[in-house]
Amino acid sequence: MSYAIIKTGGKQFRAEPGKTLRIPTMLGEAGTSIEFNEVLLGSDGGVVKAGVPTLKGAKVTGEIVKHGLGEKIVVFKFRRRKNYAKKQGHRQGFTEVRINAISLG
């Protein structure tokens, strides 16, 4: 089973063909293809290749499925005895990407 560790949006993800990933928001419409060139590690099922820091010529291609907002979190700030309380909500944006192919170069 082939897989690759890619870096996008300041985070690292394990990508496998056919798998859907939720990554930080990226530009592009749903249905367009996207290419990740920052491949940190890759395996074709038997041999594992590690990059220093990235694999040269390796790329992961995928397709944008949709954009959306994640679960709501509540940010509550409070200072006792100071009459200060502040409540704020936040929903982090994401892009859902379906991985099509992995090329280790």
Residue range 6-20, pLDDT digits in tens: 999 999 999 999 999
In a domain, 81, yes or no: no
Residue 74 lies in a domain: no
Instruction: Name the domain count of the chain.
Output: 1
31-37's contacts with Cβ under 8 Å and 24+ in sequence apart are 31/63, 31/64, 32/63, 32/64, 33/61, 33/62, 33/63, 33/64, 33/100, 34/61, 34/62, 34/63, 34/64, 34/97, 35/59, 35/60, 35/61, 35/62, 36/6, 36/8, 36/60, 36/61, 36/62
Q: Which domain holds residue 26?
A: 3-67+94-103
For residue 52, what pLDDT band results from cuts at 50, 70 and 90? Answer: very high
Entry pTM: 0.86
Note whether residue 83 is domain-resident: no
Q: How confident is the model at residue 92 (pLDDT cuts 50, 70, 90)?
A: very high
